[in-house]
Amino acid sequence: MTNKRLATFNPKTFLSRMGAGKTILRYKEKDILFSQGDAADAVFYIQEGRVKLTVVSAKGKEAVVGILERTGFFGEGCLAGQPLRMAAATALDASVIVRIDKASMIRVLHEQPTFSELFMAYLLSRNARMEADLVDHLFNSSEKRLARVLLLLAHFGKEGKPEPVIAKISQETLAEMVGTTRSRISFFMNKFRKLGFIEYNGGMHVHSALLNVVLHD
């Protein structure tokens, strides 16, 4: 029953019911949607493009905590009483973002049980991914972490078929996601290419054989 209801959920129908609480925003690549420490007063939905979430430590060290794609939500911390943004959000591509103010989002969560189920399922799935990322950073080498990031970006392990061609992403961003230096990323990418795990042909192609790096002890 639940799966059937979630499968028929239509984001366009849901967004059309937001009324004045919805604003459609357009961003260019590298535009900042909000900064760490800004007031948390809205939830965002990615209609087109990709968004990078980053945090900066007290010592100024920056880390990427997420790369979100089309149909993803972010900024939902305000619904749990979070007064300030814990991370910054930056457009990785030209993006179309729907901003939904906090009051409107809470109203729809109460009025639309189908959307409420979908939203909760999305958050639970993303939190599980974040826990896996934390374990990855704590116990795995930077080489394994990079392999896992590339596989995730290519959608291996997600529903539907993998997308072997990864959208444009810089080695600097990969270094921030993996928690290492750009030179190490370059070294491992060259190694993966020589081993036939990835190739460059009109984009970066990721092969399932890259799983061997993640699974190998």
Instruction: Assess whether 58 and 97 both reside in one domain.
Output: yes
Instruction: Assess whether 103 and 151 both reside in one domain.
Output: no
Confidence of residue 25 (pLDDT cuts 50, 70, 90): very high
CATH of the domain at 168: 1.10.10.10
Instruction: Assess whether 169 and 210 both reside in one domain.
Output: yes
Instruction: Assess whether 100 and 148 both reside in one domain.
Output: no
Which residues span the domain enclosing 208? 140-215
Number of domains in the chain: 2
Q: What is the pTM of this model?
A: 0.72
Single out the residue in 130, 153, 182 at which a domain terminates: 130
Per-residue pLDDT reduced to its tens digit, 144-157: 888 888 888 887 65
Confidence of residue 5 (pLDDT cuts 50, 70, 90): very low
Instruction: Assess whether 119 and 169 both reside in one domain.
Output: no
Average pLDDT over residues 156-160: 55
Residue bearing the bigger pLDDT, 163 or 51: 51
Residue bearing the bigger pLDDT, 77 or 62: 77
pLDDT above 60 (res 161): no
Name residue, tokens 């992403």: 169
Single out the residue in 130, 148, 163 at which a domain terminates: 130
Residue bearing the bigger pLDDT, 181 or 122: 181
pLDDT above 80 (res 139): no
What is the pLDDT of the chain when averaged over all its residues?
Answer: 83
Single out the residue in 95, 130, 165 at which a domain terminates: 130
